[in-house]
Amino acid sequence: MSCKKVRDQLLACETPERPGAALSAHLRHCPACQVWLRRLLRLEQQLPQLLVPVPPVPASLFEALEWRPLGLSSVSTAPARERARSKAALASSLAAALLLFAVGWWLWPHLGDASSKPPRSYTQRRDAFLANVRPPAQQAQALLHLADELLAEANAAQAKSLQEALEQLFEHDLFTLVETVPVGQRPELLHRLGRLESRSERLAASTRNERLAEAFKRSAESVRRADRRLRQLWGT
């Protein structure tokens, strides 16, 4: 199950703190989704204290809703009680729509990168990614999740910053954590490096932008160097 599918299901779940067997199986092995879930749970705890501003309703809307008799044939024959009930239902629907819009507008930038904010630097994203990953033995795997995200978000305008970020990740940051990786988890980490190398090469072959293709090629080279260096360090 992909990270996106897991996160979509957690958002739709009434009790994300009890995600069920299928989602839990993914979460146990995905530090990035563990961090994301903790952020979601904190937001849900804060929602009851959220003050929702209600914007003024445009006068044109009132005019459109106002009942104006055009003659005997247009006058409603429904009882007054039914008309009152219809007005109450309409008012409730409008209030609910406004509330959902306001909550969604507030919640969106807290769960993802808001388009109105400048993109965070690689260092900021790395530090945020690792801040809540426990135990430390999972931090090396978390860095590879970050590499996956960087590859997925890459575009031509970010080619140079992508290349620099992935070189920093694979040739420096990863090696500050290798001593914390238990022996039993090392084959899985090497396997994921191989997948990242293949993905970088596929992206380089499929993009038509020369700068971006070069960034993906350099990423694949950085992964290969990291793989060789790790195998030498671990004697595998």
Does 151 lie in the same domain as 201? Answer: yes
Residue 22 CB neighbours (<10 A): 11
Q: Is residue 75 part of a domain?
A: no
Element of type H or E holding 70: none
CA distance linking residue 156 with residue 148, whole number of Å = 17
Question: To which residue do tokens 């989704």 refer?
Answer: 33
| pLDDT confidence of residue 228 | 95
Q: Is residue 76 part of a domain?
A: no
Mean pLDDT, to the nearest integer, of 175-187? 91
Does 140 lie in the same domain as 59? Answer: no
Mean pLDDT, to the nearest integer, of 22-46? 79
Q: Is residue 72 part of a domain?
A: no
Q: Is residue 136 part of a domain?
A: yes
pLDDT tens digits, 70-90: 444 444 445 555 655 555 555
**What's the domain range around 29?**
3-49
DSSP 112: S
Does 127 lie in the same domain as 97? Answer: no
Is the pLDDT higher at 218 or at 13?
A: 218
Whether the CB-CB separation of 33 and 3 falls below 8 Å is answered with: yes
| pLDDT confidence of residue 70 | 46
3-state class (DSSP) for residue 79: coil
Please report, for residues 125, 195, 223, the alpha-carbon distance to residue 6 in angstroms, rounded to integers and kept in the order given. Answer: 21, 21, 27
Residue 170 pLDDT more than 90? yes
Work out the end-to-end distance of the chain between its first and last CA atoms, rounded to an integer number of angstroms: 30
pLDDT tens digits, 94-129: 565 555 555 555 555 555 444 444 557 899 989 988
